[in-house]
């Protein structure tokens, strides 16, 4: 039965979700706790890193996270209440 576990493909490892959250910068962790939507730590880190690379400031990174959440909420609102069912 072990033969189906062998593959030449690269395995995709996943980081522990709690560990990934703990590795976020303190301001990003606080933002996640106050966010309306649930966020994966990897998504928060990606947005945070891009914002810091573009502006270099923590305030800009927090604004980018808020903008991403607002865009997601707007997209969900356009879908309507029955989209999730």
**Could you tell me the residue ranges of all domains in the chain?**
16-78
Sign, CA dihedral 84-65-31-41, equals positive
- Mind listing the pLDDT tens digit for each residue in 19-48? 999 999 999 999 999 999 999 999 999 999
Q: Show the tokens assigned to 39.
A: 């966020």
Q: Which helix (H) or strand (E) holds 61?
A: helix 58-79
C-alpha to C-alpha distance for 64 and 44, rounded to whole angstroms: 10
Instruction: Grade residue 15 by pLDDT with cuts at 50, 70 and 90.
Output: confident
CA of 44: how far to CAs of 34, 51, 59, 68, in Å?
13, 11, 14, 10
């Amino acid at each position: 039965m072990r033969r189906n576990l062998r593959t030449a493909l690269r395995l995709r490892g996943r980081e522990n979700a709690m560990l990934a959250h703990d590795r976020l910068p303190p301001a990003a962790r606080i933002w996640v706790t106050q966010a309306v939507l649930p966020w994966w730590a990897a998504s928060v880190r990606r947005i945070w890193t891009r914002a810091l690379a573009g502006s270099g400031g923590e305030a800009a990174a927090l604004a980018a996270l808020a903008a991403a959440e607002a865009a997601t909420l707007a997209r969900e609102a356009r879908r309507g209440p029955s989209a999730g069912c």
